[in-house]
Amino acid sequence: MGKLETNKKVKKNALLQNAFELFTDKGFAKTTISDIVSRAGLAKGTFYLYFKDKYDLRDKLIVYKAGQLFCDAYKALVSQPMNGFEQELLFVADYIIERLKKDHSLLQFLTKNLSWGIFRTAFSSNVPKESEEFYDYYLRMLKKNHIGCKDPELMLFTIIELINATCYNCILFEEPVTIDEYLPYLHLSIIQIFRAFTSEEPITRFQKLTTITKQKQMSQKLYLCFSDICFSIRFL
């Protein structure tokens, strides 16, 4: 990376970090672009080199912060030998929980703003390389363990959303219990989500129920049709 590109990255990161601090201190609605550039020590015109408006910055900031979190989780994961995919999944969950326990501002920010579209962007381009590597590693581990999953992206999103929501209540408010008390149940829930996404059984059951329902509806229609015919014959 050349000097010019490095300088651009430093300025963009300064805008992102200072925006994060202002959003968590003052709130998104009360923070202005002038506040952000003033705190970052940059000209207002510099802001528009990287972002369309405050909303664009917020979306990119969520991706940036989520990307950093997954980047660090990936680094920790590859340095620890694990026995099986489920154990790796729980390791990443525990790592994220420990980070959110220490950073309540990040927890509040991600819980309030992380959406499906933004989540998907967090594993695309323009994010830390390790964030992309984390998702690639996740897909490779599914393949390595011969785990069939029709929608691995949706499965990961579901698990992350569960962790976020649980941490928000258990860490910030200790409701219904503390995060340490809730952790064994959270682990069980994550494993159940994993098994639901990687098993054909729930789909098969649903299909069977749908088929039975359709058969009942058809039987009712035939019965009504037969009754009408019998009624008509009586008056011939």
Q: Which pLDDT does position 229 carry in this prediction?
A: 44
Q: Are 61 and 16 in contact (CB under 8 A)?
A: yes
Tokens 């963009």, residue?
A: 12
How far is 215 from 209, CA to CA, in rounded Å?
A: 10
Q: Which pLDDT does position 137 carry in this prediction?
A: 85
Regions of the chain where pLDDT drops below 70: 1, 122-131, 200-236
Q: Which pLDDT does position 226 carry in this prediction?
A: 44
Q: Which pLDDT does position 187 carry in this prediction?
A: 97
Q: What is the largest CA-CA distance in the chain?
A: 97
Closest alpha carbon to 101 in 189, 172, 182, 24: 172
pLDDT, one tens digit per residue, over 114-157 is 877 777 776 665 555 656 778 888 888 899 889 999 899 999 99
How far is 23 from 19, CA to CA, in rounded Å?
A: 6
Q: Give the global pTM.
A: 0.76
